[in-house]
Every structure is written in structure tokens, then in C-alpha cells.
Chain A
């Protein structure tokens, strides 16, 4: 009879170990993918077949169902990165590094989509593709911050050092984003032409809220799925780097 002496990890420690994290979260990918696909199917059906045109904006209100979720994600992804940055700086949590890195290009993509749909929504309702109003301008600045973060990641060879430096910038950005938002709002009210449509005008009808909520969850779950997959890929990529280094040194395992 032998006593089992292999160390047992708590779930928290397992989350902190990259290999264990992959094993632990791998079974989640498939259900998440299925849920996301289902939500998108339902959301699109609601958006095009089961929701009325707005009495004021007409059918262009349907752009809202892709615009609002992407705009929400542009901020939610940054919040994810900021929380990861804290985890990386305070606890040196290895998965926080990885999650911070994989979230940045996703956030940039969702922000770009929010700007794209926003300008296509703006053309019929405001009569212009681009309006230097507070929301659009601060979203544009947010996109630049995302792209700066991606560029900073790529500038480092050593990803462990990169993680800590990027975490500092991410947190500085997190403190600064509200200030940017405030300053841009102040600036745009100063220069605002009088004819701009205020989107808080019409009260939302329930039949518009249903597709909005479904799409909102569809996009959020899509982000979670993509983020998790990208984290697994990044963990494997780091393992590859280790193995390649080892091979280059001529070692055999």
C-alpha cells in the first residue's frame, strides 16, 4: 500500500498555473461556443424579424443592435485589462499577464467596430459619417490607446518584462480615460453645432430592448469565448518558446 504524496492544488492555485488553467477551462470552450452561436442566431432573428422600426429613426434603429454591444465591449474589455493589470502588478498572477495580452487586440477590434457602426448610424440620423461629438471622439482616443498597448507588447522580446510595463501603462490609461472623456465632452459642447441629434431623446420601447439585450449577451459571450481560446493559445505559445530555447541549447528532455 502506498500513500498518495502528489501535491494537491486548490482551485485558486490551479488557476495560477498556466498548464492547470488550460486543463481546468478547456471543457468550457465548447459550451460557450454553442451558447454564443445560439445567442447570435436569436439576436439576429429578433433584430430583423421581430422588432419594429423606431417611429423617429426608422429602420436605422437596427444598427443599434450591433453598435451598442460593441461600444459596451470597447469599455468592458478595457476594464478586463485593467483588472488583469492589477492582478499582474500586485499578485504577479501569471494568468493575469496572459489575459492582459490577449484582451488588447480584441478590445481594439471591438472599438473599431463600434466606431464603424456608429458612423454608419450617424450618416442617416445626423447626416454625417463623422461628428466630433463627445462619445465618438473619446471612443477614437480609446482606440488609439488600445493600439498603443498592442504596439508596446510587440516592442518587447521578453514577455514577462513586457507584462509589467504594459500593466503600468494600462492602469495609467484607466485613470486617464475618465479625464479624457470629461475633457472631450467639455470640448465638444464648446464647438457643438446646434443641429446634432441627441440619442437620449426617444424612450426605448420594450420590443427594441429584447433584441438589444440578446445581442448584448451574444457579443459579451463571444468576447469571453475568444478571450479564453486566445489565453490557451498564448499559454501554448510560451510553452513553445521554452521548448525551442531548450532545443537550441541542445538539451534533451
Chain B
């Protein structure tokens, strides 16, 4: 790892913030995808598209 110079905290917090945001976005997408799939299975959907 290279040294990030005098403004390291800004660079690190920018990347941290973005990746936390992306993580939340991905987590939310995956979570809602799983939840809808589960609900669809509960309802006994017979269609093959799910």
C-alpha cells in the first residue's frame, strides 16, 4: 500500500462511503430479490418464469 499523503482521511472516507453505499444498494437489491422469490414460492406459483 502506498502512502496517501496529507489528505489520506478524505480519500479513505470517500472510498469507504461509496463502498458502504454500493454495499447497501447491492444488499437491498439481493434482499428484495430473495424476498419476492420466497413469497412467490409461498403462493405456489406454477409459472416457470420465476
Contact = CB atoms under 8 A, between A and B. Distances in A.
Whether the complex brings A and B within 8 Å at their CB atoms is answered yes
A63 B14 contact: yes
A-side interface size class: 35 or more
Given A58-B6, A236-B36, A243-B43, A116 B11 contact: no
- Tell me the dominant secondary structure on chain A's binding face: helix
15 contacts: A23-B49, A60-B10, A63-B14, A66-B14, A109-B25, A116-B21, A117-B14, A123-B10, A229-B29, A235-B49, A236-B37, A237-B36, A239-B40, A239-B49, A253-B46
Interface string A39-69: 0000000001100010000111011001100
Given A58-B6, A63-B10, A124-B6, 7 more contacts: A59-B5, A62-B4, A66-B14, A233-B32, A239-B45, A240-B43, A243-B45
A70 B14 CA distance: 12
A16 to B, nearest CB: 14
A233 B33 CA distance: 5
A177 B23 CA distance: 29
Interface string A87-128: 000000000000000000010010011001100110110000
A178 interface: no
A124 B7 contact: yes
A120 B17 contact: yes
Interface of A: 18-20, 22-23, 48-49, 53, 58-60, 62-63, 66-67, 70, 106, 109, 112-113, 116-117, 120-121, 123-124, 222, 226, 229-230, 232-233, 235-237, 239-240, 243-244, 247, 253
Interface string B7-44: 11011011101100110111001101100110110010
Contacts of A109: 21, 24-25
A117 B17 contact: yes
A214 B26 CA distance: 20
A121 B12 CA distance: 11
Residue from B22, B30, B37, B48 having most chain A Cβ neighbours under 10 A? B22
B7 A59 contact: yes
A66 B25 contact: no
A120 B2 contact: no
A216 B10 CA distance: 21
B10 to A, nearest CB: 5
Q: Which 8 A-B pairs have the closest CB atoms?
A: A19-B49, A59-B5, A124-B7, A120-B14, A236-B36, A233-B33, A243-B43, A66-B18
